[in-house]
Amino acid sequence: MIVVMKHGASPEQVQHMIQRVEQLGLKAHPIYGTEHTVIAAVGEKRDEFRQSLESGPGVAAVVPILAPYKVASREVKPEPTVVRAGSLAVGNCHLGMIAGPCAVEDLEQTLSTARAVRVAGATALRGGAFKPRTSPYSFQGLKQAGLEILAAAREETGLAVVTEVIAGEDIPLVARYADVLQIGARNMQNYRLLEAVGEEGKPVLLKRGPSATLDELLLAAEYILNAGNPNVMLCERGIRTFESHTRYTLPLASVPWLHERTHLPVVVDPSHGTGHTNLVTRMAAAAIAAGADGLIVEVHPDPESALSDGYQSLNFQQFEELMSLCRRVAEAVGRKIGPYS
């Protein structure tokens, strides 16, 4: 349920109500909005305590949260969340453009890509050091050496680093180098991993599982939020359907659907979403038109020789063309692509 504080409730009254909620064995998530401060009270048997909270000092109302996800819902926080990590800002009027190789392969490949995408206007660098591969015989990533390369690329270009963490035991190592922890599609419902990145506190890019519903995506985000980390970006990266012309099916209606129900920013991945280089740019533009708060795009100096996902990667010139088209589309729908100070 949501404890809505009166307009002008004092900080002491808010603090008092946070303590009351916690004394009742519920978790309190205060949200300081422009109009009201509200405290989301989540946990089991929360409705039993409604009356006793209603009479608290400075309380305007106590209302149930109807959505199954609580802290992620617009009911609790009507204002859009902006997630910031170094050079990257995503949400509300900020469009984040994350680009880079599927996997970090070597220093030169990553550095040259970081330089090229930065010049083209990317606001963050992506690159996997720990790769979740379908086959155990495929390239698994450079692991710590890959993280060091990403940090060197950030050092030179100033771009924030977005990289995947695939196991709880790797979180301290990955968090030491990354600005944003990516939870991959295969791990969207790995609830212990979600709680652990929630506790770690670094911003998280949470990818939709290929067979997960949007409610399940929001509930996965809820695990991270409930563990105390408010900086979650959702990522639509395509789902598995009967269609076989594209690697996955990229349902862009999820962007406005999610925006109606959650304050969290929504990023679209047109690379995994299509699986074909020649489809990426137009789906990126379509995502911006649909209201996406950002894109994550695979770029490689020589896609043909890439160790993973070359068939869906753009070369530098293609990424420049993507940025140029997305800029025009953004402007047409009243948005602007960074950089932001």
Tokens 């379908």: give the residue: 134
CA-CA distance, 286 to 252, in Å (whole number)?
A: 8
Select the span of 53-61, 99-107, 207-215, 320-328 touching Mn ion (CB under 5 A). Answer: 99-107
Tell me which of 303, 309, 335, 338 binds Mn ion, using CB under 5 A.
309
Measured from the CB of residue 271, what is the shortest distance to ligand PEP in angstroms? 8
Measured from the CB of residue 185, what is the shortest distance to ligand PEP in angstroms? 4
Kindly state the helix (H) or strand (E) to which residue 288 belongs, with its residue range.
helix 277-289
Measured from the CB of residue 166, what is the shortest distance to ligand PEP in angstroms? 9
Give how far Cα 182 sits from Cα of 175, 233, 235, 295, 326, Å.
10, 9, 10, 14, 23
Phi-psi region of 278 (alpha: psi -120 to 50; beta: other; left: phi over 0): alpha
Select the span of 60-68, 95-103, 151-159, 221-229 touching Mn ion (CB under 5 A). Answer: 95-103
Measured from the CB of residue 43, what is the shortest distance to ligand PEP in angstroms? 31
Measured from the CB of residue 132, what is the shortest distance to ligand PEP in angstroms? 6
Select the span of 26-34, 82-90, 255-263, 307-315 touching Mn ion (CB under 5 A). Answer: 307-315
Which CB, 30 or 251, lies closer to ligand PEP? 251
Q: How far is CA 31 from the centre of its chain?
A: 19
Are the CB atoms for 277 and 302 separated by under 8 Å? no
Are the CB atoms for 238 and 249 separated by under 8 Å? yes
Kindly state the helix (H) or strand (E) to which residue 284 belongs, with its residue range.
helix 277-289
**Residues engaged in binding ligand PEP (CB under 6 A):** 102, 128, 132, 184-186, 207, 237, 272
Select the span of 10-18, 112-120, 238-246, 304-312 touching Mn ion (CB under 5 A). Answer: 304-312
Phi and psi (nearest 5°) for 256? -65, -30
Which CB, 81 or 277, lies closer to Mn ion? 277
Which CB, 28 or 159, lies closer to ligand PEP? 159
Q: What is the CA radius of gyration of the chain?
A: 21
Query: Residues 101-140: x/- map of binding to Mn ion (CB under 5 A)?
Result: -x--------------------------------------
Measured from the CB of residue 296, what is the shortest distance to ligand PEP in angstroms? 7
Contacts for 339 with CB less than 8 Å, ≥ 6 apart: 87, 121, 123
207 binds, among Mn ion, ligand PEP, none (CB under 5 to 8 A by kind): ligand PEP
